[in-house]
Structure 1
Amino acid sequence: MSKPALTLILAAPRGFCAGVDRAIQIVELALERFGPPIYVRHEIVHNRTVVESLEAKGAIFVEELDEVPEGAHVVFSAHGVPKSVPADARRRGLAYLDATCPLVSKVHVEAERLHAEGMHLVMIGHEGHPEVVGTMGQLPDGAISLVETIEDVARLSVPDPARLGYITQTTLSVDDTAGIVAALQARFPAILAPHKEDICYATTNRQAAVKTIAPDCDALIVIGAPNSSNSVRLVEVGARAGVATALRIQHAGELDWSRLDGARRVGITAGASAPESLVEALIEAFRARFEVTVEQVTVTEERIQFKVPRALIG
């Protein structure tokens, strides 16, 4: 019996961004240079496949530094950490490497600059997300107000409406953020914007790729973890762009095939912390059930690379 025909439309760019690639390299190089175990505070990136691969090589993931033995090597995750974390590491004599994405670090620098100029900060982001916790932790308590929605803007109370600036999490929905920024500017006309857009190039590019393929898809599958902000946003972007069925899975084994009944053109993308091997495995799972044709739609080429710390080279 012949298999039904199905076309897979691969969105590009997808998967690993430069910041994720650098963070993983930092852990791998630390393991090579210093030997296991290397402790990592929080998931280095939000992907279980990546975490389990590093665990197999000798990385030990912990939630807080008090789980790390005196004198050990520890890596801080790509999402960034509050200033109290490296201070605690120094106090305890821990050798630490900071794998914070340079584009997150840029937001930290922007926050400190505005604070030094006497501005109160408004951060657009998701409460409790490690990146938001890390960014807000760059400044003293009360120096940053967090908003998640346009409704939050309406309720916002600030010390001086004439002395305000805003920053954003790097992995937000471009469209949602634009709406919140417009609400902030309408309510606080003097609010200062970042010198350069805080939402990172990888988030923007992956959302643009989904918007491009969405009109041609009966369904969209996003490979990414449930705690991966940029992956969850890709599902929302696909749904808003008109895809009837938009799903997020961590790997092919999680896919509920009944959700694809009747679909003949299925889009596939992956969040910035999902390795390409997961995309390849999903394509093979489709080949087992369908006569598959694969098309790739590329909206831009990404050539950005970030250097790893000098302590790991040579």
Structure 2
Amino acid sequence: MKVDYIIKNKVSEQDFERAVYNWLAEGDYTPDDIIENIITQNNLVLLPLHFYMNDYQGTCSASLGYSRTEYYQVWNDTYKRSETRSRMVTNWVPHSQPVQGTVTTVVYAGDKNLEGIALFVENMGWRADELNQIGQNEANYAPVLSLFKVNGSDSWNNKGAKKAYNSAVQQTLPLLPSNLVQNFNLNIRFSEKKFFSLVAPFWLFIYEYQEQQYYVVVDGNDPSRVDGIKPEDKKRKNSVIALRWYGWIGGIVASLFGVYYFSGQTFAELEINWKNIGIFAAGFILTWILIESKVTSIKKKSIKARKEVLKKKFNQ
């Protein structure tokens, strides 16, 4: 086995920390005081990775749904007449088509004690074609070679093939002539186009908040690639849930009262007609606007508070 690329770190510790704190300042339910109340530990780690670029070819099959409006007659006992009603009906049709494409896959190949972090690294947006622009070929560099615990073949069989298949599925689904899909099956064969083994630098930001440990990973070649785990402000999240729950209950009751008030009928006389449907729909839409505007206000207020703390931190 050889190492095709050793990617050098291009992100300073200051830029790394700025990327992390910017990431922590985002999020709907991230605690407002997180930037000021965390204990941190920074490490630059080298992670061994296998990159695969594979062409695939085969067929896919599925049942595709096509919706149509069906009209039918019902008898109205109140007005003693027949009325036309409508409903949406979905017809399911068998479908198959040839597929082909190219997918890139990255698989962590190092020590198991970093596998949790590796899950983030594997999905941070690396593309195999980027390797044409970065790094130097330093084959068989022994200290780096020792980081690899799995060779390219085993790595592909254990994880890579499944990840590549899932990527092919995601590429294929939008190509189907309907977005209503059942019993989807993709039968493809992969052919290797490119394969690289490399060592890439990643900044690991370990932090403790309220006696719980979390971490953030930043790509040492591009600080815009950030991922990790954040604590949640459960009080704020529960308040949003309660606001939506009680808001919708109140909104539905108010909409029904609006139908009663503007229809000029008693509750016993109320019937389903376009006027009453319109009144209820208007109340429903107004309820949605009021609730979501309040939820957005709560979230924006929290993010703004974190941004202010962040601004003070880096202006010192």
Question: TM-score, normalized by length of structure 2?
Answer: 0.20
Which structure: greater strand fraction?
A: 2
TM-score (norm 1): 0.20
Which has the bigger relative contact order, CA under 8 A and spacing at least 6?
2
Q: Which entry has the higher C-alpha Rg, 1 or 2? A: 2
